[in-house]
Amino acid sequence: MKIRIDHERCRGAGQCALHAPELFDQSDDDGTVVLLDAEPPPELEDSARLAAALCPNSVITIIES
């Protein structure tokens, strides 16, 4: 799995950081998403999918291997 972020569309809702803090954080400057691990280990893949599904701006793309 690979995770891609569309930073241009992020509005800083924070659902990703809330539901998958091992993979996502928020910028101290503007609150937008910070990707911590673009290729998560298998045990975090479900968290990545949940974060992508809950993102109100659909900025997280999951690329399945």
The model's pLDDT over 34-54, given as tens digits with 9 standing for 90+, comes to 999 999 999 999 999 999 999
| pLDDT over 90 percentage in the chain | 98
Other Cβ atoms within 10 Å of 48 Cβ, number? 23
Query: What is the average per-residue pLDDT within 22-27?
Result: 98
With CA atoms as reference, report the closest residue to 40 among 14, 22, 53, 54. Answer: 22
Q: Is the pLDDT of residue 65 over 90?
A: no
Domains of the chain by residue range? 2-63
CATH topology of domain 2-63: Alpha-Beta Plaits (3.30.70)
Q: First vs last Cα of the chain: how many Å apart? A: 5
What is the per-residue pLDDT for 11? 96
60: three-class secondary structure by DSSP: strand
The pTM of this model reads 0.94
What is the per-residue pLDDT for 46? 98
